[in-house]
Amino acid sequence: MMRWPSPRTVRRLIGVLILVLWEAIPRLGILPELFIPPLTKTLHVLWLDRAIYAAALLVTVYEVAVAMLIACGAGILIGSVVGGVASVRRLMLPVFSSLYAVPIVILYPVFTAWFGIGSESKIVFAGVYGFFPVMLSTAAGIRTIDEQYLLAARSMGASLPQLIVRVIIPASIPTVLAGLRLGGALTIIGVVVSEMLTSANGIGYLVTKNRTTLDSPRVFAAIIVILTLSVVYDIAVRFIERRTLVWQTAGRRATGPQAARVALPAQAPA
Amino acid sequence: MQHVANVSGARTEAKAAVEVRGLSHVYAGRDGAVPALEAIDMKVPAGRFVVIVGPSGCGKTSLLMMLAGLRAQSSGAILIDGRPIDKPDPARVGVVFQEASLYPWLTAVENVEFPLVLKHAPRAERRARADAMLNLVGLDGFGARYPHELSGGMKQRVSIARGLVQDPPVLLMDEPFAALDEQTRMTMGHELLRIWEQTSKTVVFITHSLTEAVYLADEVLVMSARPGRILDRIQVDLPRPRTYQMMATEEFGALRERIWQQIRTAP
Amino acid sequence: MRGASLIIFRLALLAAVLLLWEALPRLGFVNAMLLPPLSDVLAALVHILGRGDVHTSLGVTAAEVVVAFVIAVPLGAALGILAAENAYFGDIFKPMLFYVFSIPKSIFLPMFILVFGIGFPQKVAYAAFSTIFIVIMSASAAVESVKAEHLLVARSYGATQAQILRRVYIPSMLPILLEALRISMIFNFTGVMIAEMYASRVGIGRLIADWGENFEMTKLLAGVILLAAAAMLFNEAVRSLEARCSTWRT
């Protein structure tokens, strides 16, 4: 009996298949070029207009970077406090979990009214967008740090600053990295969505602009740039996470009610 | 029949490394005050190996926490090396917990020198001490390993090395082998006795296991269920060094039986 | 802090926020053009709730939300169960699923517009597309959460597949399924909103985007409050249902 190919191989084959279809389907006239221009044409157009796309990408990356500072900075900080301090957690966590249900995108018109259609509104929006999931994820992650570590350190005569610097911070790194990965992905999503909605600049804006002129190859070129950005970021963070793998499983309480509960990812819905 | 006075009377002239006088502890529970420990008296001469045995929830871990200065008692005095203790003092008291609690982001030797890092000791000195301790516990050459690369028994050895790195006269151990399988437990017990004999520390050791208690101890303190009181102090006069064969002797069995009787029939 | 004092504290916090919202614009600390006082916004809320066009818009949006949900959930659940039951299928697609979550799905909106034009089908299709992935992931997680031991015990007592389904899988998965439903609805609602705000002629998303463009801040904020309240209400309702079914969970 023939052995099934490994899942990885199948995934690669599927990837290749998608690329082939992307080229073949429009060229063979199965679907109009308006719906999906051939891959080669899209890439060609991307190359032709590379200066425009590069400039737009720069704007987008800038907005993502600043928004990430807000979302991850505030998210991790506040998440640590909310998760770590029992009284704050009991008070605020249910409130934040409820707010998570609200589609943040409805706030975007408010931000454009307040900050204009330039980068500021995108940054604020993406910052808020990324904040809640990062905060919730950090709050959850902080609680998995083993209390025994603190007890052991206290028995060794550690002072409070030493506890924070030498135990809590190193033990929190896996949680912080997960928060960064989440926050980065979400701020990219937030920036792209807001650029598509109301903007004068950025890659998202290029998507919208070219759609309204029915320039499908350029729309797809922009889509390719965004996909690349997302994937590159994800790969980069996963690489960093793998380097610190030694801490990831070892530092947590592996048993107990926290782990028994199947955790659905604290993603943001776009 | 309860002994209240110091049973190890023959050695009263030796300085008591660990002394507890009239210690009681009450904590605030959900429905009012809960007495946890009652009128505990202990006097452990220097260099003795004392084991505390008792049912779950009897407060033996709390007692150990108080000896370590990690928790404050409601009333009564604790003297370590002749001086009271009210906060952790790793130069006087080393603590080994049930879970090794090694920091996963540090190597074995870095874990052992951690207390010295907290004291801002110079690098060369603390590395030398840590290496010496690893050698003592039989882990020479394993210093560069991370905790996730070590077995349960090895992790506990590192934990013991860490407790000893500042050369405290007293070592407190809270069921350190409870998480290990039986065979490793027996080996570790044997190892511990070797380390103890080499370093002449005073050891206060908590366990559930009657066998472990008799095998390791010079003296066994039997505690009652909550509120924890000392029911009996049993001298273990088996010759040292202890061997596994002793576990099969009648004397060993009689001691075990005596402890079990005390626990089982306590009011 | 115990139960009652917790609630009081939260109410106090809410009251403080509302108070600031009223006071700051009125006292001139905040530009009242950008952030109208709370009372004005509440008045606008009452006003828009009475308008016929708002009713129609809400109806359109609600329809989109429901239809998209009804499409995405069964389809996603089927795929998710397949991914969990068939290890091979799961191994192939699960890693891809994780990548999908990092991608802004909104970039595919133009494709939906190109194919469906601008209208009801386009928005529903996009929202369903937005939602289906989290449904797949949740369903898969739910099936996997059923402990192998429970299944083994049931099978060792000779339970049939149907009995195992009814007596082990479903009670075990119910809380997780409810949570999955709740989170999927969040994704769904967001998808509908994005589609309406991006390219639509009707719907409440379109309305608030227009109000924003025309600087009609009271109506815009009123709309935001309305939608936020609706979203949170649904969320809490499902959450309390979850809690009721979860009493056996640790």
Residue C6 domain-assigned?
no
- B positions 185-224 inside 8 Å of A (CB): none
For C35, name the nearest residue in chain A, comparing CA atoms only: A114
Q: How many domains does chain C have?
A: 1
Residue-level pLDDT at C190:
92
Between positions 218 and 237 of C, the ones with CB within 8 A of A are 220-221, 223-224, 227-228, 231-232, 234-236
Nearest CA in chain A to C191: A270
Name B51's Cβ contacts closer than 8 Å, sequence gap at least 6: B204, B205, B206, B207, B212, B213, B216, B217, B219, B220, B221
H-type alpha helices, C103-216: 109-116, 120-145, 148-156, 161-164, 170-198, 204-213
CA A85 → CA A143, A168, A251, B71, C111, distances in Å? Answer: 10, 13, 19, 20, 47
Query: Of C95, C212, C231, which is closest to A110 when you measure between CB atoms?
Result: C212
Residues of chain A with Cβ-Cβ distance to B103 below 8 Å are 149, 167, 170-171
pLDDT tens-place string over residues C142-183 = 888 776 667 777 777 777 777 777 777 777 777 888 888 998
Per-residue burial over C145-180, b if 16 or more Cβ lie within 10 Å, else e, is: bbeeeeeeebeeeebeeeebeeebbeebbbbbbbbb
Going by C-beta distance under 8 Å and a sequence separation of 6 or more, which residues neighbour residue B4? B41
DSSP state of B139: -
Residues in chain A closer than 8 A to C144 (CB atoms): 262
Over the stretch C173-189, which tens digit does the pLDDT of each residue have? 778 888 889 989 999 99
Which secondary-structure segment (H or E) carries C66? helix C52-85
Chain A: closest CA distance from residue B248 (Å): 37
pLDDT reported for residue B13: 47
Q: Is the dihedral of CA A232, A234, A235, A240 positive or negative?
A: positive
Q: What is the ipTM of this complex?
A: 0.85
C139 shares contact with chain A (CB less than 8 Å):
no
**Chain A to chain C, count of Cβ pairs less than 8 Å apart?**
169
Cβ separation of B118 and A162 shorter than 8 Å? yes
Q: Give the per-residue pLDDT at C234.
A: 92
C233 HSE (CA, 13 A, CB side) = 6
User: What subunits touch chain B, counting only 3 or more CB pairs under 8 A?
Assistant: A
Say if the Cβ atoms of C194 and A7 lie within 8 Å.
no
Residue pointed to by tokens 């008792």: B54
Look up residue C92 and give its amino acid: I
Please judge whether A108 and C211 are an interchain contact, meaning their C-beta atoms are less than 8 angstroms apart: no
Residue C43 lies in a domain: no
CATH code of the domain in which C76 resides: 1.10.3720.10
Distances (CA, A) of A4 to A1, A13, A195, B26, C87: 9, 13, 44, 66, 12
Specify if B127 maps to a domain.
Answer: yes
Contacts of A159 in chain B (CB under 8 A): 118
Is it the case that residue C191 has pLDDT exceeding 90? Answer: yes
CB contact under 8 A, A155 and B162: no
Residue stretches of chain B with pLDDT short of 50: 1-13
Our answer on whether C and B touch (3+ beta-carbon pairs < 8 Å) is no
Which chains contact A through at least 3 pairs of Cβ atoms less than 8 Å apart?
B, C
* Residue A159 within any structural domain of the chain: yes
Cβ contact (<8 Å) for A98 and C101? no
Name the minimum distance, in Å, from the CA of A119 to any CA of chain C: 17
Q: What is the DSSP string of B13-25?
A: TSPEEEEEEEEEE
Optimal mutation site among A155, A175, A247, A252, interface B, most CBs of chain B within 10 A = A155
Cβ-defined contact of C193 to A264 (cutoff 8 Å): no
| A9 in a structural domain | no
The answer to whether C245 and C175 have CB atoms below 8 angstroms apart is yes
Domain that includes residue B240, residue range: 46-71+85-265
The answer to whether residue C69 neighbours chain A at the CB level (below 8 Å) is no
CB pairs under 8 A between A and B: 63
pLDDT of res. B132: 94
Beta bridge partners of B35: B26
Residue C70 lies in a domain: yes
Residue B9 vs residue C221, higher pLDDT? C221
CATH number at residue A180: 1.10.3720.10
Domain of residue C155: give its range: 51-245
The answer to whether position C25 is within a domain reads no
Count CA atoms within 13 Å of residue B96 on its CB side: 29
Residue in A146, A157, A250 nearest the CB of B88: A157
Q: What is the pLDDT of residue A193?
A: 92
| Interchain CB contact of C106 with A (< 8 Å) | yes
Residue of A106, A187, A192, A199 to mutate for C, most C C-beta atoms under 10 A: A106
Highest mean predicted confidence (pLDDT) among C82-86, C93-97, C133-137: C133-137
Per-residue pLDDT, A268:
58
What is the DSSP code (8-state) at residue B157? H
Q: Which stretches of chain B are DSSP H helices?
A: 60-67, 108-112, 114-118, 123-136, 152-164, 182-199, 210-216, 250-265
Provide the greatest CA pair distance for chain A. Answer: 75
Q: Is residue B106 part of a domain?
A: yes
Judging contacts by C-beta atoms under 8 Å, the chain C residues touching residue A87 are: 1
CA–CA min distance A184, chain B (Å): 25
> Is B104 in the A-facing interface, judged by CB distances under 8 Å?
yes
- Cα separation, A45 vs A49, in Å, equals 6
Q: What is the pLDDT at residue A2?
A: 61
Q: Test C130 with A101 for CB contact under 8 angstroms.
A: no
State which residue of chain B sits closest to A155, comparing Cα positions.
B88
User: Do B115 and A156 count as a contact with CB atoms less than 8 A apart?
Assistant: yes
The shortest CB-CB distance from A262 to any of C96, C102, C141 is to C141
Chain C, residues 152-211, CB within 8 A of chain A, namely 176, 179-180, 182-183, 186-191, 193-194, 197-198, 205, 208-209, 211
How many CA atoms are closer than 13 Å to the CA of C28, on its beta-carbon side? 0
Interchain proximity C235–A208, CB inside 8 Å:
no
Q: Among residues 46-65 of chain C, which lie with CB inside 8 Å of chain A?
A: none
Contacts of A176 in chain B (CB under 8 A): none
DSSP, residue by residue, A15-73: HHHHHHHHHHHHHTTSS-TTTS--HHHHHHHHHHTHHHHHHHHHHHHHHHHHHHHHHHH
**Closest by alpha carbon to B139, among B117, B164, B174?**
B164
Per DSSP, B245 falls in state G
Q: Which of A107, A110, A230 sits opposite C104 (nearest CB)?
A: A230
Q: Is the pLDDT of residue C136 over 70?
A: yes
Q: Indicate the number of domains in chain A.
A: 1
Give the 3-state secondary structure of residue C127. Answer: helix
C110/A207 Cβ within 8 A: yes
DSSP characters over B39-60: EEEEEEETT-EEEEE--TTSSH
CA distances in angstroms from C58 to A78, A180, B223, C66, C193, listed in the order given: 35, 37, 71, 12, 12
Query: Residue B161 falls within a domain, yes or no?
Result: yes
Give the structural domain span for A247.
53-251
**Location of structure tokens 């010079």:** B218
Q: Which residues contact C176 (CB under 8 A, 6 or more apart)?
A: A262, A264, C138, C141, C142, C145
Q: Which residues of chain A have pLDDT under 50?
A: 1, 250-266
The CATH number of the domain holding residue B141 is: 3.40.50.300
C212/A267 CB distance under 8 A: no
What total of structural domains would you count in chain B?
A: 1
